[in-house]
Amino acid sequence: MQKHLAILVLLIVFSFRATAQNETYYRTEKVGEKYAYVDVIKTYEKVAAKGYKSVDLFQKLGNSSYSNCELEKAAEWYSELFALTTDLDPVYYYRYAESLRSISENEKADALIEKLKRKPKTSIKKKV
């Protein structure tokens, strides 16, 4: 009797688990026909080329270039960012230093790391 009860309980548990694994797929072929896609980074680059400067703009451009392993471009955007402000998260110091090292500007990178070391420890505990 206990054996039958155990088998019944296992079947019930596995039946719930099997139904929870259903996935829904959506077809997106028609969406591409109706909507135009905008390359946001190219738009931001055009805006920056026209002379608009903001911390948010340069953060997005630098992060995008850094994520796409375009470290030379990232160094340019982070340079613009640090020209506007130095009150940034430590992750920007690290990324800018790494971008500078990729273009062989090790002295500037070392100076940035030293600035990062002098920042208060509470601000360094964020995502580096």
pLDDT tens sequence across 27-67: 555 555 566 667 888 999 999 999 999 999 999 999 999 99
- Could you tell me which of 95, 98, 90 has the C-alpha nearest to residue 125? 90
22 vs 64: which has the higher pLDDT: 64
How far is residue 92's CA from residue 99's CA, in Å, rounded to a whole number?
10
Lowest mean pLDDT, pick from 32-36, 69-73, 91-95, 100-104: 32-36
Chain centroid to CA 77: 15
**Residue 12 banded pLDDT, cuts 50, 70, 90:** confident
Q: Which residue has the tokens 């992060």?
A: 63
